[in-house]
A and B are shown apart, each in its own frame.
Chain A
Amino acid sequence: MRTLTFAVVAASLVAAPAFAWQPTKAIEFVATAGPGGGTDNFARAVQAAIVKNKLLDQPIVVVNKGGGSGAEGYTYVKGMAGDPYHLVFGTSNTWQQPMVSKVAFKASDFTPIAAMVQDEFLLWVKQDGPKDVKEYLAAMKAKGSSAKMGGAQSKDTDELLTRMIEKTAGLKFIYVPFKSGAEAAVQLAGGHVDSHVNNPSESIGQWKGNTQRPICVFNAKRLAAGPKVTAAEGWSDIPTCQEAGLAIPLFQQPRTVWLPLKVTPEQVAFYVDLMKKVQATAEWKDYVEKSSQSQVFLTGQEFTDYMTQDSGRVHKVAEEQGWLVK
């Protein structure tokens, strides 16, 4: 695998002069999240990989525009049509947010570059909470309509997944939206909610501290075995939700990169290639491993297909819940 990537990098390095376009001034990475958020870390990881390996001659500036759950950043870059010096870093929010919220952009306002990583979701309970998924489902059922699920933001991925769990398991949750996943994690540690569906990086510190633990992961297979997180367990010890008895086979959040509209195919090709090179660096691998995400590289038609498929799924749940903007 490693030799293969090296071969790809070598080939692309040789091919580099063939690019019809090269940046000639500083490039701005617009992160659609505040400092410290998942998307901010993503943009800064790409920046670090490029800077440390000198993949570009031009400086890169990361700008945080996290206002309006990221809508600020999208709207800002949308207005930069024809400018290949502004990249927006986001999530599936690019197509999901315009569906459920009256924001001034839509996915077709951007030129897709790539989806570079998929963040995982797990079901978390308090340390002294239900010991596995079966117990959890029974306990939530017993609570009736007062079972509480915490999450980051409203009508976003966390609530989407919550509503899917409700439907699959025949439960009813009070979904309590907080500003961030980290805040939801603290609320769970304090026992103010019963569970949440955080990404690994949002709750690993709490898991290490024995205030909460994951009971299943929303993926078709278990996560990669890294170093143990607690004395007894690591990520690969967590069963998939399907095998534990909650039939949601796969739920992930892609982290995506976009250019504004009206850029040339040469410019797009340049950035696609740049992101490919980023993925081959040690810094990037380190970022992916430490945040327990799964690396992907979707671009071109593949990316568009993925988007269409995911939009369909989101649209279905949003319609059932009555979230769609009129």
Chain B
Amino acid sequence: MFSRRALEALTAAITGAFGIAVIVQSLDNGIGWSTAGVESGTFPFMTGLIVAAGSLYNLARGWLRGREIIVDRVAFRRTLALFLPAAVFVAAIPLVGMYVASAGYLLATLRMQSGLAWLRALAIAILVAIGLYVVFEWSFQVALPHGLLGAWLEH
């Protein structure tokens, strides 16, 4: 599915892009020496340069060697099966809040992927949501997001 070459290129592109963003941004802060000492952009600028140069090297080296497949189709499907529902869960938080989102996420994964019976999956999902509420909101007074749903319910 994916060769080492492709993943190396992807990673080098990510780090390289970050490095360039750092270089560009640190120019705003000023580079070099001023009356207030070493200017605040100097150090990030240097790290940005090194990150960008290193990424270029890793890109070239990764491209030249490594045609072998390191993530095959089966492995990739497994990773996605774990990551995609989690991403949906995270995306749902601003809408339905942490409690509903995490209960829904658990219910879905336990029922669909692990094949637990509806009732068991539902019971676990609700218990976890209640547990979260008790530990965070109730005892440590850390308000988890209630989302648009929560705002709507309050009205």
Contact = CB atoms under 8 A, between A and B. Distances in A.
Interface string B129-143: 000000000000101
B33 to A, nearest CB: 14
A61 B141 CA distance: 7
Nearest to B140: A61
Q: How large is the interface on A (under 10, 10 to 19, 20 to 34, 35 or more residues)?
A: under 10
B18 to A, nearest CB: 21
A190 interface: no
Interface in A1-49: 26, 28
Interface string B21-38: 000000000000000100
B144 to A, nearest CB: 13
A228 B141 CA distance: 40
Interface residues of B, number: 3
A59 interface: yes
Q: Majority SS of interface residues in chain A?
A: loop
Interface in A46-82: 59, 61
A63 to B, nearest CB: 9
Contacts of A154: 36
Contacts of A26: 141, 143
A173 to B, nearest CB: 11
Contacts of B143: 26, 28, 61
A220 B143 CA distance: 45
A216 B154 CA distance: 55
Contacts of B141: 26, 59, 61
Nearest to A62: B141
Interface in A122-164: 154
Nearest to B28: A102
A59 B137 CA distance: 12
A31 to B, nearest CB: 14
A59 B139 CA distance: 13
Interface in B50-94: none
A268 B26 CA distance: 41
B63 to A, nearest CB: 39
Nearest to B154: A25
Contacts of B36: 154
A245 to B, nearest CB: 28
B1 to A, nearest CB: 41
A282 B19 CA distance: 55
Contacts of A28: 143
A47 B143 CA distance: 18
Nearest to B40: A154
B114 to A, nearest CB: 37
B55 to A, nearest CB: 28
Nearest to A60: B141
A26 B141 CA distance: 10
Contacts of A61: 141, 143
A26 B36 CA distance: 45
A23 to B, nearest CB: 13
A87 to B, nearest CB: 15
7 contacts: A26-B141, A26-B143, A28-B143, A59-B141, A61-B141, A61-B143, A154-B36
Q: What are the nearest 7 A-B pairs in CB distance?
A: A61-B141, A59-B141, A61-B143, A28-B143, A26-B143, A154-B36, A26-B141
Interface of A: 26, 28, 59, 61, 154
